Amino acid sequence: MRAQALDPLDLKLLQALQLDGRAPFNRIAEVLGVSDQTVARRYRRLRGTVHLRVLGITDERRLGRSTWILRLRCTPDGAEQLAGALARRPDTAYVSVISGGTEVMCAMKPRTRQARDELLLDRLQRTPRVISVSAHCLLHHFYGGPVGWLSKINALSPDEQAALSPPPVDPGTRPVALEDADEALLAVLGRDGRASITELQASTGLPESTVKRRLDRLRATGILYLDVQFDHEHLGNEVVAMLWLTVTPAALANVGRALASHPEVRFAAATTGQANIVAATLHTGTGDLYTYLSDKIGALDGVQSVETALAMREVKQLAYEPGR
């Protein structure tokens, strides 16, 4: 059964939440020219029909940590079990089954070098049905993270975008240290980015003024950003593809910037390994993917080769929900 299409107001609400996932409904309603009740009702409906979630995400780069992409080749009977086990780990951010069910791809955010080495050098090497493991460290983000793919749908007018955009993030590059109270807030927001101040108080035991102050600091420094997740089929994107591009070093930055501008690209980053750029793309079908590869990727100077794999099932995006 084909996914139900979203109407213009649905799309405006999705993009508004991508701009500021904690924006009050009355503020969104005022900018969009509808009632508070309409926004609240649409939000509740989208949570059910497209599995809309607003999640608070920790930007590891602001903490001086690295993100790794793992490619795990496994026997066909082991992919689902392995993907589920990885999804339950708190240090994984994305898990999908690709390559017809013979490979699992995982984005890992280890908090320490010891945790990274334990998984890569010990646990995965001893996991039954895993044939091979390759690990690639993300070196530079071209697109994704705080700038979500919904910014490309252009549902909001420029004036509406300006009215709903939060204050800019401090561009400081020095890693920021977290305290236990910050960690507690991030844990709650990682499950529900729109958790109320009252809920944050109850979950952390912090007074209201402390919660607000720390929340403002986490957002102002870029440690915390809000991401909107939903089933992409409802925007007509039936195919999710992973691309591994091998690019000449001199063209790396230009190719990365070009990918970031493509409407099809929801994530792109430079990475270690023979394929030095990884990208996640969305398409209406396999024909659309073919056209994208031949017309847009093929036109980029410096691209020497492209490996393409379809995501058969996204087991985890940025938060794990048992049973989903």
Q: Domains in the chain and their CATH numbers? A: 8-59+152-229 (1.10.10.2890), 142-151+237-312 (3.30.70.920)
Cα–chain-centroid distance for residue 203? 25
Which SS3 state, helix, strand or coil, does residue 228 take?
A: strand
Instruction: Return the ∠ at Cα 34 (arms to 33 and 35), rounded to 5°.
Output: 135
Q: CA 55, CA 22: separation in Å to the nearest integer? A: 10
pLDDT of the chain, 324 residues: tens digit per residue: 345 579 999 999 999 999 999 999 999 999 999 999 999 999 999 999 999 999 999 988 888 888 999 999 998 888 888 889 888 888 888 899 998 888 999 998 888 888 887 877 677 777 888 888 899 999 999 998 888 899 899 999 999 999 999 988 877 767 778 899 999 999 999 999 999 999 999 988 999 999 999 999 999 999 999 999 888 888 889 999 999 999 999 999 999 999 999 999 999 999 999 999 999 999 999 999 999 999 999 999 999 999 999 998 888 876 433 333
Token pair of 258 as six digits: 């070009």
Give Cβ neighbours of residue 52 (< 8 Å, ≥ 6 apart). 14, 43, 46, 228, 229, 230
Give pTM, 2 decimals. 0.87
Q: CA 282, CA 295: separation in Å to the nearest integer? A: 15
